[in-house]
Amino acid sequence: MNKTKKIIEAALFISGRSLCIEELARLCEFGNLGTMRRYVEELEKEYKERDAGIEIYCWNERYEMRVRPDLEQTVMHFAESDMPPAMLKTLALIAYKQPITQSDVVKSRGNRAYYYIKKLHLMEFIKAEKQGRTKILGTTPRFREYFRVDDLKLIKK
């Protein structure tokens, strides 16, 4: 495996989030995005061919390393949560009540919710559209993909 692919693999492993080709190219000091994309796709193929327990997954032109879905239930009890319980509760409230105003989330969850909303937005789990002095919050396709929720109506049952 060449050095560029090793750097890509290490970055995807350590980042804990999805990375775009441009970020990987900057990291590797590599100018050609087409070649960089080829390296990532080769690495993705190598993991599939090895039938590894983890995979490189592409979502919306962004790449991440994750546990294969068929093994997730077996090993997930070992994982530490990516987010503190209060942030997860804030996300759950948004998912359940969406569309919901930021001010209503803050009333329900407290002032710390501003920080969690900002973090959740950066993680691409929620979208925030300005409306007057507040924002309207809702989940994104990234939320549904990450939590493997096909139908948000199931959350409200």
Could you tell me the domains of the chain? 3-76 (1.10.10.10), 85-154 (1.10.10.10)
Could you give the C-alpha distances from 3 to 20, 42, 48, 75, 144, in angstroms and in order?
A: 19, 13, 20, 30, 34
Task: For the full predicted model, state whether its pTM sits above 0.75.
Answer: no
**Token digits of residue 111:** 């002032």
- Tens-of-pLDDT digits for all 157 residues of the chain? 689 999 999 999 998 788 999 999 999 887 788 889 999 999 999 999 999 999 999 988 889 999 998 998 898 878 766 778 899 999 999 999 999 999 999 999 999 999 999 999 998 899 999 999 999 999 998 888 888 776 655 555 4
- Pick from 70, 76, 87, 92: which is nearest to 143 by CA? 92
Cα 125 to Cα 46: distance, rounded to the nearest angstrom:
29
**Token digits of residue 113:** 């919710």
